[in-house]
Structure formats: structure tokens, C-alpha cells
Structure 1
Amino acid sequence: MRRRTGPPTGRFRTACAALVLGTALLAPLPQSVVAAAGLDSGSDHCLSQGRSQCADILPPGQNGNATLADILLHQVLGTRPAHSSDQLARYDSLVGGHGGLTDAGLTDFFNDASFGVPADQVESVATPRPDVTITRDKKTGVPHVKGTTRYGTEFGAGYAAAQDRLWMMDLFRHIGRGELTSFAGGALANQGLEQQFWPQAPYTEADYEAQIARIRSTEGARGEQAMADAQAYVDGINAYRQQAKDGRYFPGEYVLTGHIDSITNVGEIRPFKLTDLIAIASVVGGQFGGGGGGEVQAALSLLAAQQKYGVVEGTAVWESFRQRNDPEAVLTVYDGTSFPYAEKPANPRGTALPDPGSVRAEQLVYDRTGSAGTGAKDPVRAPQRVRPAQGMFDDGVLPPGSLDLKRGMSNALLVSGAHTASGNPVAVFGPQTGYFAPQLLMLQELQGPGISARGVSFAGVGMYVQMGRGQDYAWSATSAAQDLTDTYAIELCQDDTHYLYRGVCTPMEKLEKRNAWKPTVADGTAEGSYRMQVWRTHYGIVTHRATVGGKPVAYTTLRTTYRHEADSIIGFQMLNDPSHVTDAASFQQAVHHIDYAFNWFYADSRTAAYYNSGMNPVRAAGVDPALPVRAERAYEWQDFDPAANTAAYTPFAQHPRSIGQDYYISWNNRQAKDYNTAGFGFGAVHRGDLLDERVARLVADGGVTRASLTRAMAEAGVTDLRGEQLLPELLAVVRSMPVADPQLNAAVQKLDAWRAAGAQRKETSPGSHAYAHAEAIRIMDAWWPLLVEAEFRPGLGDELYGALTASLAVDESPAANHGPTGAHGGSAFQNGWWGLADKDLRQVLGRPVAGRLARPYCGGGVLSACREALLTTLGQAVAKPANQVYPGDESCAAGDQWCTDAIVHRALGGITHPAVHWQNRPTYQQVVEFPTHR
């Protein structure tokens, strides 16, 4: 039985500090052991004249574990454990320092990413087994794991991961299993996370075991090795887990959530097992590497268009907003090579649009008693989005919605050697996984038999480096958006829990997860419980009920990676194997083994390359993947077998790929000609344009360097997409006649001056916490949602406008409290009506438009009427005070523009960090240029 702990007293805090800090000290190791921890520099081909040309950074810091004493001291004195926040200021400083950046100056903003640790930079060395050493450097505390055996290397990786992220790994295995509230308390935030993640992958223990068995049985020697590596990794986690528990230097959150008694040390940190890794992988892969879904909402917006305009014209209107295969969209492979996928069929078959008004979301939550702060019963029908909070000590372990990152945010910039100063390719790239404390990713170096890499891995599944560098190559990824997920309409028979499967009335499988919690120090909620329930079918999980042609149906969601959460381990194993990845072609073959939807980028001393991975299903002829389809054999994926959810997948040659293109950019934009994305918003204006235009200019000038490419990234990262890409058209409409109103004319001049200066959201000087052109930015933030509504709503009508905005949000500025990460999430301008407004305004202005909207909207297509609508809303924006544009939240006072934009690391535990300047930038980032190759 866990003992409940009360709020710590001052005397108790002092005693805990002495106890925990005392037991956490480790004796120094002999210098001979320290010297043995390095790596032969001859294996590192990123060195040039003794200096590294590989650099990286990952804020806020490497150390993500804090003892109870650390947490209490942080609360009282504001101190933080060593290496928990030492990367944040350097990451932040690039905003003000990128202007005059040189290659030599990169070390002011990035860490040396060389292999090994020089003897004079060794901070500590641990030997958890005789066949492995874990060396940490003084500057960052990053673990450099060197094993003499394969098992020892992987054991060390798990041990180091637990040293840095034990509490967070425990959180994520419980999130994946739908057991967070039972583990961390009943705050609504925790309940929301369970309800967000568990229905996507509601696995039983047998389901987890089956995935492990499948890898062993179907992937040959690599599959056996992968599972052996994973077991060694788990063994390392458990070794540290037990040592930390016995030595009383375990994360303090275990005390604050009632798992361990702070006085007696009674309690348990539950051992990890292989199936926990699958649970963590289901969270990570589903959020960052999924693709598709949303077909029911798409169907509702299509129905609304057809009801307003009729079937033929309504469908044309909807397609123009859907922007499939838009000819003006920015592409990663821009040379015209076609990779047809998920295209709109000429004559769709099997589409299952719901009857108007019949759709209802499937009930998820039942039997809830208690809630945050009350003991009242509170039944709900669907998980509710709650405004993000700031950490576990206020509203739960994780802010609700803070992991809703499906749209992706990473970016990549690569230039081939023909256009660089050195003649070697240059790359600046990294994943954007949100800002958390501790970070979801952790840095590590792994050196052992068959493994040689440094970079980041998601904590808890870090048996291999997932993005980083090898001996003479580097790689990274951005989330892609091709369609791996389909929605099926299954016809019901007998009752609501039976359906027709290939002509046979078949029972649905009911999966349940029951959670109960008691009050904890961390959240203060009342005792309570509730039950989650989903129905699983051969076509996936039931998400909605409706009628189609008067017959009752259930809509289900099926993704190709369901039941295959860990299969991608083979691709990551290959990426870490220097004997496998020897050039761009072998790299492409490695990432082809990764099943999730990612864009992969590669650079060595000779070439840059790209490949789009994912289990792309081969659909039946005539099926439209953008809409629900009837669950009949004629419309299933080819070779579909529901037992293990397998099917036929598009082969290597049909995936977008390229080697040696002049340059590559990606900011989660479309991949290539005819390769269709799974959703709205990939049109004429996309934030990828911010990178594409800048890198194209660099390539045209020639002599690209690491510094110049980093400057291009950093400049794009503080640029307002609307100001750079939309203001020219907006001002052209407004100035089609002189602006007579003095107040409006002054606003127009401020906006134009901001545009001319680069449309950046940047401080007047570092640390001022005040933007240059602050008034123009305030006007744009207030104006954009008003002008979009005035531009489109009159023509579309209330119902269709509402349905389309449900499919694609109007705005995602840094100040918006919505979008993938909510407020203070860093990433911005991924989702919005940028391209729609751009096409419509150019059409009104009489300018060329490829792939125009089916109808004009602003002012009904009349320039003078459009101008009047824009000026009216501009006046409303000018009059809107700052405290309404920036209403304030837990982190910021109302009206504080800089703070509203600022990045706030969301606390996953007891340590928090100061807000930093907004920048639209990867969380982990590499800057690399290899001068030599094996």
C-alpha cells in the first residue's frame, strides 16, 4: 500500500536535502578509466584541422531527473540541478546573434557534436557493467556510452537514459497504456491525456507481446538483434532504477505522487519490461509519425458545400479548399519528378458520406466519479480540450493538449556541395518535438560492436540514436503528412455492437481501461475513478456513429502502423550501423524500413539526399482516401489481413526520393509532384516558402557555408508568414484607392514599414522583451482572423464556413492559444488559411493564379467591395486593445505581447524554466559539414 504524503515542512525540506544530496554523490573514478572512455578521433570524419564541423543543441538541458531535495530547493531558492538548464540561454541567444554569424561563431550557439570526450573535459565516468563506460562531459553532461560488447553498449544506453529521464519514461509508459491517472493523480489534465492517446492504440498485454513476437519472427537476424538490444536497454533502465531507489536518489516526483514514502523509503518504482517500450513507441510514433485521419470531418465539410451549392459545384468548391495537388505548393523534390499517391480518383467508388445530421462522436468515458477538486459524478461523452496549464504542481503532470503534435513542426535545410564554399554539402536540420522540461528527446553517443552514432532519441526508446550523426554522415527527419490512415463505414447488424465483416455478422471487441486515483501532493484532486471504453473491429477503432443511406453504420479509423508500433526499430538499427549506411543510397534503403510518415534527410562529404518513409497502403482502385469508404472487400486495402493489420504497401520506387538535388528544404510541406497530403492547408502559401525562398537565393549566389545556412533558418524562424507572404496582396487591395481615413492610413503605413523591414517578430535589442514594429504586429494579430472571416464567410455562409474552419484553423500565429502545441509552443504558421486568402486576393486583383478557388470570395470578387471589407476589419483591429489581443494566461500578464509569443517549457516534473524569445525552430538541431568520408 502506498503511503500518502502531506505537504513538506521547512524542517522536512532541509532533512530531505541533506539525505538525498548526500546519497547522490558518486566517488570519482581512476584516471585510467577516464582515459579509456574516449573514442579514437580517426573514426570521426567531421573533424577538419582538429576542429569539429558537426554541432548540435537541445534545450533546456541534458539532466531531466531531480531528487526531492532538488525540487524543494528549486521551489524555495529557484536553483536547478546541474545540466538541467544549461542549453536554454544558448539556444535562445541565436535570435539576437544570427545576423553576423560566422562558422567560427557557431560554437556560441551550438555544442560540439564530436565523438568522444577529451580527457580534460570529462566530468564523470560510470561503469555499470565491466563491458561499458558512460562518460559525461563538463559542458553539457551528455552521456557518451562506449561498450566492448553489444549487450554492454545497449545496457549502458538504458542506464544513461534512466539517469536522465527515469520519471518521464515512467509517465510515458503509463500514458501509452492509458493509466496515467492511476499513476500520477486524477487531475483533469491527466485524464485528458489518457483520453487523447489510449483510444489511438488501445492494446492489451497480449497485443504488445504479439508485436514483439512478430519482429522476432519476420525480421530475421536483424529482428532478433533488435529485440536483444531492446532487452539489454530495459535491463540497464532497471539496474539504475533499483540503484536509485536503494540509494534514495530517485526522482522526487515519486514522493510527490505518493509512490514512495520520503521517510521510510517504502514503495516501488515498477520495473520496466519490453512491452513498456511498445507502449512508449505507440505514443511517440502516433504523434510524430502518423498521417491521415479526419475523414469524417472532411465529409461533413463536403456535405455542407454540396448543400449550399449543389453536388457538382459544391464538390468543386470543396476541392478548391482541400487543395489537393495544388500547383503552387512548395515542394521538397522540386525537379518535376512525379510520385503519384492518394490522388483524387476520376470516378470515386465506395465513398460513404453520412446522412446530414446523423453523425455523433462515439462515447469514450463512463462511470466517472470525482473530478479535479470535487467528488461529484461527472459523466462525459468525449474528451474535452482544456486550456494548457504550466505543470504538474498546478493542473496535472502534463498540460492537456500539450502533446497534440500531429501536424508536425520540424525543418530541414540542405545544400549540395556544388553550391557551398567548401565543395561539401551543408545541412542545418532537426525535429521540433515541442518544449518540455525535461525534453522528450535526450542526447547520447553510442559506440559499440555494430553501433556508432551520436544524436537524440525519444527517452524510453533510445536503444538507438534516432536522429543525429554517424562516423561520416548525418541524418534528420521532419514529420510528413501522407495518408496512412483511412476511415471505414461498417454496416451494423443485429445491434450497435455487431457489424458486417465480409458478409458475416461479427461482434465488435470491447476494450476497457479502468482508472482510480487518490489525492496526491502533486495535484490535490479528490479521490475518484472512471472507465474508458472503445470498440475494436477488423477495420480499426470505432470513432463515430451515423447513418449512410438510412442504414446505421459505425465509422472506424484504421492506420497501417496500428499493431506495428515498434517495427521501425529495424530502420533505426540500420542508421546506427556504420557497415550498413555507407552512402546516400544505403541511407535511403535504411529509412525505407521505418514505417511512420517521415521525411528523411542525409548529408555526407559527397552528397545530400532525401527519402519519404511510411507504410503507404495500396488502396483499391477508385477509392478516395480523403473521405470515408464503405467497409466492403472491394474497397479494402489490397491484400488486407486484419489479424496482424497487414496489407500491400507501395514499394521503395514509389516513395518521393532524391539524391544530389541542388538543395532541399522541408517544413512539413508537400513532398513532390502528385504526392498528396492527408489534410487541408498545403497550398500556395506555406511556411516552407520561408525556407525555400531564402535557400534558393543562397544557392543562386553560391559559396554557401554552415553559418549562412544557419542564418537563413534563424531569419525564417522569427518571420511572420502573413507579414512576408500575405501583406503585399492585402496592401495592394487596400491601396487600390487612397486611404482617406487618417487612422487607417497610419495603420497601413505601420504595416508596410514592418513588411519592408522583413516582417519579423523580434526584440528591439536582446533582452528588451519588446518587439520592434510592435504596433504593426499587434494590428496584424488582431486583423488576420477578422479579415479572413470578412473575406470568406459572406460568400460561404455560416454553416459551410464553420465546417471548413473545423477542417483547417484560420490562424496559428505565435500568439494564438491553439494549434498543435497550444500557447507558448514555439511552432507557428503550420496551419492556416494563408494559401486560400492569397489565391482569393490575387484573383480579386486580376493577377495570375494557378489552381484558383472555384469561386471568388472577397467582396464577391469585386475589388472595391473587397477593399471595403478589409478596411472595415482593419479599423476593428486598430481599435482592439492589446489586453484583448493578448489576453494573458498563467505565464503572462494581459497585454504582454512578447510574453504571449514566448516559449515556455511545459513541466513534466518538478523543475521549471524561464520563458525565452519566440522562434519557429527545431527543438533539437544539427549543423553539419563533413570534410571527409571513409
Structure 2
Amino acid sequence: MRRSTALVFVSFIAASTAHAQVDAAETVTIYRDGFGVPHVQAETSDAVMFGAGYAIAQDRLATMELARHNTQGRRAELLGASAIEMDKVMRGRKLSDAVLMQRYRALAPEHRKMIQAMVDGINKRVDEVNADPGRLTPLEFLRWGIKPTRWSLVEYLALITAAPLGRDTYEIRNLEFLKEMTDRYGREKAWQIFNDVVPISDPDSPTTIPAGDDLAPARPTPVPVLAPAQLPSSSVTSAAMQTAPIEPVKGASRCMVIGPEKSASGKVLMLEATADGPEIHLHGGGFDNAGFGSTGWGVPTMGRGAQHGWLLVSGSSEAGTVFAEKLNPRNRYEYWHKGAWRKMERRTETFKVKDAAPVTHEVAWTIHGPVIAWNTESDTAYSQQMGVHGRELDTWVAFAEMGRAKSLAEFKEKGVDRLGWNLGACYGGEDGTIAYFEAGALPKKAAGVDPRLPTPGTGEYEWTGFLTPDEKPHMVNPRQGYLFSWNSKATGWSQEGDNARIGATFRTWLGDRLAKAGQSLTLLDMREFNGQIFNALGAVDRNQAAPDFFAPYFRAAIAASDDPEVKRAGEYMLSFNGLYQDRDGDHRYDNPGLTLYRAWLEIAPRALFGEDMGDWWKKIDADRYLTYQSSLLLRAFQGDTAGAPLAVDYFNGRDRTAVMIDTIKTTIAEIKGRFPGKDMAEWKQPIFWKYFDASLETPDRPQMAEDAPERRLSAVLRLGPTMAPHNGGESWVGLMEIGRDRRALYSVVDAGGQNLFIDPDGKGNPHLTDQTMMHETNELKKISLAPDEIRRTAASSFTLEYRPRAR
């Protein structure tokens, strides 16, 4: 009797489970517009994410595969020995599968379902590709010699936790500089030069939040404090260290938000330019937002929401610390912490390398984080502690909730306050509210140490906690009526000198001027602003600044010099407005003052600082994203009028105007050799080019020094443009007017198009490069959020069936 009852009960449960699974099946519809942008619609949030995973895998499966190998520290398997050093960095910082799953299980059930559904959607597409490989396999897989494989959950979790790795590691480079100056001059003058070149806080640095608008309580402005344990040791040598990430972390994002009082329509206007990634519109399960997202993320990281627009920039706050670990002289894998020797966690990683033998590498962690550099001569290891540690998955959740927010309060509490990474969040609401939040896990660092240098890891200088949401810089409705941020310093008390390198000439100069002067602005005005900011080259040459910063000193040289060439060169430089423009289409920038000024920005600091510090005025920033040379140069010429006057007289008693004249003469002599026999009016710099195929680069068509060719497969195969005149801009551009009757996003992507698929026969798709030249000419497409318009204008539609996993 009991057995029969049990069988009936089991049969009932099985039938009920099967019935529940059938009932749980959902329809997911994907509409694609004329540019291939997917509009994913479903009833529940996990069904929407299933469709998102599928759609993005359709568009960029090969890009996702490269990202998977990158975050796993396995790029060398595809690219060969050239990728091995970055693989070592990534493998050393990668969280274990067990830790990733621990983070995942700590999420709310809905967010876990959304992430798992995203993976399931990706895998549905992978299965389709493998079922029809001759037609659906992206060509890159054939060139790599691999087949598409399904994604595991932990591989996807690794993908979305990897982005902040490698930030804030310049304390070691700063220490090298201080050490060399100490060897040369002794402690006192070395310390003066160090503070001049690497200021802990430059009061002339522009800030995202104007003085008086920060709603966070004021904190003390940082001041230099050198702990005895941080003094340079004679055994510190650059050869013994890895001083910075193998590939500098890029932080290209900028946002401009115009408040209603400066807008012609009385509605908020928003402009963003940032890194590349696919676009998507999600509808259902609380979502109704469209925008840009990193490849494979699914949720837009910024864009147009149900009642708001939101944009993000990489923050420049101090979100981490490099600790100098004191090693046991008898065992390099033991370090002293709080009165005892502790053993490092260690493992040996093996790397497969395409067309080469495997490589092994040892990974070590201390209580603070991964060891990023060794100096065994001084029994020191350097480990990196990041504030985001323990909150790696929170950022994905925050992106989802910022897009789903139905009010400013929800945007902040469910989204911004959840961010683990240091990001700046820009907000504009349909009610006219504009706001900015400096977000992320921002540690409170110990007193008594200089944060620009490695912090002793012996236990006396540990973090004391994290800033609360109310303690982080933030503002709502600034009095100036706009906000502009470009990886900027958030507020006056924000630290500089390690991750941040700002100064008076920082690249926000043009955007701030345009926004401040603008009145009755329209979307067309904002697009024009974007074009001008592109042309100022701040995205690809962070040392550039308008010549008018130096105008008083150029004018003094013009007035004092009896050399007509100096006068003429000075006038030309003053006539250059800071924009790299070729209006007559002759492939040369219009103003010879541009040519002179670019050369002068290299010659003047070399002449001024070279005698005292060699090439450290530039070397200190050699692999940083944000650089400081032009701000340092300006402070030198400003003298006592600078917000932070230099402690050392780098003019060595010489008259400032005489030095300016000499640097202009040197500039003229150098440029004459580039334009033999030509009048100064013809000294026009050839325009810079953006190469999509590196093999086409030629000396007569220069490219920006920091702008490596993209090596797009579409260009290599001649399926689209191979090169273009460089507009100076970032990859993705988004523009919005935040009104209930204006629910759309205007955007363009620089990767070429939405869909990067090239089939096994080397044939592209209609959206492979359909936005490349649009980007170069600052043209934007429309992504509508209106359901009727989406259906009416759809170029295609597709239906999927989604079955949630049984729980």
C-alpha cells in the first residue's frame, strides 16, 4: 500500500513538473531594425536575457570568443606568443571557479536567473552554428583553428568580472621616479621634484562637480605624507619590477548632460562617447531600455531608459592600493603581516601557445590580492588590493537595474549604489532632473602614508572601510545647468597622482566651454559639439590642449623678440583653435599653427625639465591613459600664479620670456627640416589616419602614436573600408533628448556595424560595415523605443521559445 501510494505521488510530482515546465515556456521575439539592432521582447526578465544572449551571439560570436579567451588568460592559444604576457596578467588576477560561483549564489534569485538565461541564449546560438557549420561558423574560428563551444556559467561569470583588472598600479612607477631623483639630488630636492611632477592634488584641475554643488560631506584635501617605510631603497631597480599593466586600461568615456534651462525644448539633452560594443533594446520583465553594452554583457551599460537616460564614464578615484609586502629573506613566498610570517597562496599556470611550446608561470596572492611585481633584491613583493574584490558581479546587476529604474531614487539605490567598479554615472530624467554620482567600492585609506607610493603591507596601514553612498561625490541639478565628465576628477578633494592625472589643461576644456556658452541647445547642436570635441583629439592624444592656455607667454615672446620668424610662428600658434580640421580636403590640417604647436608641446618641456630630471617629465606617464605634461608645462610658465606653484625653478634663473623665445626658435628649426624650401604658411601637418588594416600604414599617412591599427577582418578581406581620415573620436556615440514624446536613442558604432559575422566563405553581412563612414562623419542613426514604430519599421523579426531551467 505504501509503495503504491509512493508511486502515485512520484508520478503526480513528475507530471506536475512537466506541466509546470510547459506552462513556463515563453515566447521571445527579436525585431531587427534597418541597421540590424535587435529589439528583444518577452514577458519576464530572464526570457528577455535569453533573447539578448542569442541576439548578441548572432552578431558577435567571434568577438565574444576572443573575450572569453582573454578573461581566461588564454589568448595565446588563438594569437600565439605575442599574447602570453597579457595572459599571465589575466591568469594571475582571475578568480577561481569556486569563488565565482560563491559570488553568483549571493545574488538575488531573479538576477541569477537572468545571468543563467543569458548563457543559455548564447549556447542556443552556438548549438545552431555547430548544427550548420558550413554556413554559420564565423570565419575567425576557422582562422584560429577551433570550433565554437558552449559557454559554461563560470566562463560567463569570468567575462563580466574581468574589466576592472589592472587599474591603479602606478605607485611602483612613481617610486622608481622618486628613487632616481633621490639618488641624484638627495631626499629634499627629490621630494620637491616628485611633488611638482606627480601632484597629489592640483587645485587648478577641472572637476565634474563644481565647487559648492557636491552633496557629499567635505573631506580633507590630500596632502603629501611620506611614511618612513615608503622611503626609496637603494636596492629598488626598475629592471626588477613590472611597473604597470601590460596593456594600459583605456577609459575613453565622456558624457555631457544639458539641463532644461539651457535646452531649446526645455528637456534634458545627453551626449556620450565611449568604447565599442553592440547595441540592443530590451523590453519586458521591467526592462524598456536601449543602448550600448560591452560584448557579451546583454544588458545595456548606458542608454535610454523608461523615463530617463543614463551614461557612464570610467572613474578616476583611488579604487585600489598597491601594497609593498615585506618578504622573508629565506622564503620569498612568506610575507610579514601583523606580527607574523604568512604564506602566499600559490599555483603554477600552464599556457598553451599557438605554434609554440607551452609556457608555465607562477601565480601568487597575499591577503591583499595578486602579486603584480617582485623585487627580490630588496625582499619585496607588490600586491594589488582592489575595492571591487567581493563585489565583482554587482556591476552587472547595477547595469540591469539602472536601465530598469523608474525614478531617480531607484536609479541610485538599486543601480548606482550597487556598482562595484569605480564609475561616474550621469543621469537625465523626463522630469528635467540631471545628476552625477561617483560610484563604486571606494576604500578609505589609512592615514600616515602617501597613496602615490606603494603602501607598506605589514598590517599597520590597512584600509579602514569604504565610503558610503552618501559620502561619495554626487550632485543633483548643478547651478551651472549642465555637467561634463571625461574620466575627470569628481570633486576638489578627490586625489590625483596615481590613477588620475588631470591639471588645468585637462581634455575637458572644450566640452566645458561649449556647454557653458550654449543656450537654447538642440540635438543638432549637441551633435556639432561632439564633432568639435572629436576634432580636438582628446580621445587619442590626452596631452593636447588649446594654445590659448599659453597665450600670455606666447604674446610676451612675440612682443619681446626681434626675430620675425619667432613673431610669425607665435602668431600662427595663437591662431590655432585646438581643432584638427581639414576643411579644404587636401589631407593636410588647415592651420600651420597646429604643426608648430604640436612640436612646441614636445620641445618646450624637454628644454625646461630635461636638465633637472632627464625624460621623467614624460616617462612618468609613458603608459598611463591620462597624462599631465602640458599641465606641468603651464604651471612652470605661470610661476607663482599657478594654483600649485612649482617648488623647483626649472628655468634655473633664466627669464621666462627668453626661454619661450628659445623654445619657439628650436621649434622653427625642427619643422623647417620637415618642409624644406617652403614658406611657414605651408607648414601644414598631414592629417592622421585611422587604419582598419595594419598592412596599409605608410609614412606619408601618419597615425596617432597611441592609436594602434584595429586589424578588422572586414578590412583585411576588403569587405569594407580599410582606412579613414581620423576624426579623433571614441568608438560609440549616443545622443538623446529626454522627453516622454522623444523615446529614442541616436547613435553610431565604430566597429563597422552591429553584426560582425563573416561566413566561412569570407562573405560579410549587410551590417558588417554600414556605420564605419557614418562614424567618421559624425552621423547618427535612430533606435526607437516606441513599440508601434519598432514593429512598423522592422527589417526582420524572429521568434524563440524559452524554457526556464527547473529550480
Task: Name 1:535's counterpart in structure 2.
Answer: 364
SS at match of 2:66: helix
Residues 259-274 of structure 1 aligned to structure 2 (within 5 Å): 259=146, 268-274=147-153
- Deviation readout 1:630-665 (Å, 9 max, x if unpaired): 113321112xxxxxxxxx211011111111111101
Separation of aligned partners in 1, 2:340 and 2:603: 52
Structure 1 counterpart of 2:233, one-letter code: D
Contact 1:596–1:613 (8 Å) recurs in 2? yes
Are 2:552 and 1:552 aligned? no
Task: Name 1:870's counterpart in structure 2.
Answer: 663
Separation of aligned partners in 2, 1:237 and 1:499: 44
SS at match of 1:333: coil
Residues 406-425 of structure 1 aligned to structure 2 (within 5 Å): 406=250, 408-425=251-268
- Deviation readout 1:734-780 (Å, 9 max, x if unpaired): 314134254x4443343333x2xx23211123x5433212x433333
Are the structure 2 counterparts of residues 664 and 705 from structure 1 closer, same or farther at C-alpha, using a change threshold of 3 Å? same
- Deviation readout 1:769-818 (Å, 9 max, x if unpaired): 33212x43333333322221001112x233xx43x433224xxxxxxxx7
SS at match of 2:555: helix
Q: 2:453 aligns with which of 627, 632, 641?
A: 627
Are 2:158 and 1:279 aligned? yes
Are the structure 2 counterparts of residues 155 and 559 from structure 1 closer, same or farther at C-alpha, using a change threshold of 3 Å? same
Separation of aligned partners in 2, 1:900 and 1:557: 29
Task: Name 2:200's counterpart in structure 1.
Answer: 324
SS at match of 1:658: strand
Contact 2:66–2:75 (8 Å) recurs in 1? yes
- Deviation readout 1:32-91 (Å, 9 max, x if unpaired): xxxxxxxxxxxxxxxxxxxxxxxxxxxxxxxxxxxxxxxxxxxxxxxxxxxxxxxxxxxx
Are the structure 2 counterparts of residues 797 and 675 from structure 1 closer, same or farther at C-alpha, using a change threshold of 3 Å? closer
Q: CA deviation at 1:725?
A: 4.1
Structure 2 counterpart of 1:415, one-letter code: I
Separation of aligned partners in 2, 1:873 and 1:278: 55
Structure 1 counterpart of 2:157, one-letter code: I
Structure 1 counterpart of 2:291, one-letter code: G
Contact 1:516–1:529 (8 Å) recurs in 2? yes
Structure 2 counterpart of 1:255, one-letter code: L
Are the structure 2 counterparts of residues 285 and 835 from structure 1 closer, same or farther at C-alpha, using a change threshold of 3 Å? same
Q: 2:423 aligns with which of 553, 577, 598?
A: 598
- Give unmatched runs, 5+ long, in structure 1: 1-128, 217-222, 260-267, 365-381, 386-400, 434-438, 519-525, 639-647, 810-817, 821-829
Structure 2 counterpart of 1:405, one-letter code: V
Are the structure 2 counterparts of residues 740 and 185 from structure 1 closer, same or farther at C-alpha, using a change threshold of 3 Å? closer
Are 2:346 and 1:513 aligned? no
Task: Name 1:610's counterpart in structure 2.
Answer: 436
Separation of aligned partners in 1, 2:425 and 2:511: 17
Are the structure 2 counterparts of residues 797 and 515 from structure 1 closer, same or farther at C-alpha, using a change threshold of 3 Å? closer
Contact 2:506–2:545 (8 Å) recurs in 1? no
Separation of aligned partners in 2, 1:660 and 1:573: 24
Are 2:27 and 1:211 aligned? no
- Deviation readout 1:151-186 (Å, 9 max, x if unpaired): 32111011001101111111111111111122x141
Q: 1:759 aligns with which of 552, 556, 578?
A: 578
Residues 85-124 of structure 1 aligned to structure 2 (within 5 Å): none
Residues 104-183 of structure 1 aligned to structure 2 (within 5 Å): 130-137=26-33, 139-182=34-77
Q: 2:561 aligns with which of 715, 726, 738?
A: 738
Q: Structure 1-normalised TM-score?
A: 0.69
Separation of aligned partners in 2, 1:625 and 1:835: 21
SS at match of 1:314: helix
- Deviation readout 1:182-215 (Å, 9 max, x if unpaired): 2x14142x3243245333x2333333333323x3
SS at match of 1:568: helix
Task: Name 2:613's counterpart in structure 1.
Answer: 797
Residues 527-926 of structure 1 aligned to structure 2 (within 5 Å): 527-546=356-375, 552-577=379-404, 580-583=405-408, 586-587=411-412, 590-605=415-430, 606-638=432-464, 648-661=465-478, 662-677=481-496, 678-679=498-499, 681-698=501-518, 702-719=519-536, 721-740=544-563, 742=565, 744-753=566-575, 755=576, 758-765=577-584, 768-773=586-591, 775-794=592-611, 796-798=612-614, 801-802=615-616, 804-809=617-622, 820=625, 830-843=626-639, 848-858=641-651, 860-881=653-674, 890-897=695-702, 904-907=709-712, 913-926=721-734
Separation of aligned partners in 1, 2:472 and 2:245: 37
Separation of aligned partners in 2, 1:770 and 1:875: 19
Q: Structure 2-normalised TM-score?
A: 0.79
Task: Name 1:448's counterpart in structure 2.
Answer: 284
SS at match of 2:491: strand
Structure 2 counterpart of 1:924, one-letter code: W
Q: CA deviation at 1:279?
A: 2.1
Residues 182-197 of structure 1 aligned to structure 2 (within 5 Å): 182=77, 184-188=78-82, 190-197=83-90
SS at match of 1:240: helix
SS at match of 1:571: helix
Separation of aligned partners in 1, 2:708 and 2:352: 34
Contact 1:425–1:603 (8 Å) recurs in 2? yes
Separation of aligned partners in 2, 1:551 and 1:903: 37
- Aligned Cα RMSD in Å? 3.2
SS at match of 2:148: coil
Separation of aligned partners in 2, 1:899 and 1:805: 17
Separation of aligned partners in 1, 2:475 and 2:654: 41
Are the structure 2 counterparts of residues 489 and 650 from structure 1 closer, same or farther at C-alpha, using a change threshold of 3 Å? same
SS at match of 2:118: helix
Separation of aligned partners in 1, 2:368 and 2:661: 51
Q: CA deviation at 1:351?
A: 4.5
Are the structure 2 counterparts of residues 857 and 587 from structure 1 closer, same or farther at C-alpha, using a change threshold of 3 Å? same
Are the structure 2 counterparts of residues 652 and 576 from structure 1 closer, same or farther at C-alpha, using a change threshold of 3 Å? same
- Deviation readout 1:694-742 (Å, 9 max, x if unpaired): 21111xxx32222223322321221264343445245235314134254
Residues 283-298 of structure 1 aligned to structure 2 (within 5 Å): 283-286=162-165, 290=167, 292-298=168-174
Are the structure 2 counterparts of residues 924 and 495 from structure 1 closer, same or farther at C-alpha, using a change threshold of 3 Å? same
Are the structure 2 counterparts of residues 422 and 350 from structure 1 closer, same or farther at C-alpha, using a change threshold of 3 Å? farther
SS at match of 1:735: helix
Separation of aligned partners in 2, 1:733 and 1:530: 60
Are the structure 2 counterparts of residues 307 and 899 from structure 1 closer, same or farther at C-alpha, using a change threshold of 3 Å? closer
| Comparing 156-165 and 719-728, the one that deviates more | 719-728
Are the structure 2 counterparts of residues 898 and 344 from structure 1 closer, same or farther at C-alpha, using a change threshold of 3 Å? closer
- Deviation readout 1:641-692 (Å, 9 max, x if unpaired): xxxxxxx211011111111111101122211121113446311210111211
Contact 1:444–1:455 (8 Å) recurs in 2? yes
Are the structure 2 counterparts of residues 899 and 850 from structure 1 closer, same or farther at C-alpha, using a change threshold of 3 Å? closer
Separation of aligned partners in 2, 1:651 and 1:204: 28
SS at match of 1:786: helix
Structure 2 counterpart of 1:256, one-letter code: R
| Comparing 303-312 and 684-693, the one that deviates more | 303-312
Task: Name 1:461's counterpart in structure 2.
Answer: 297
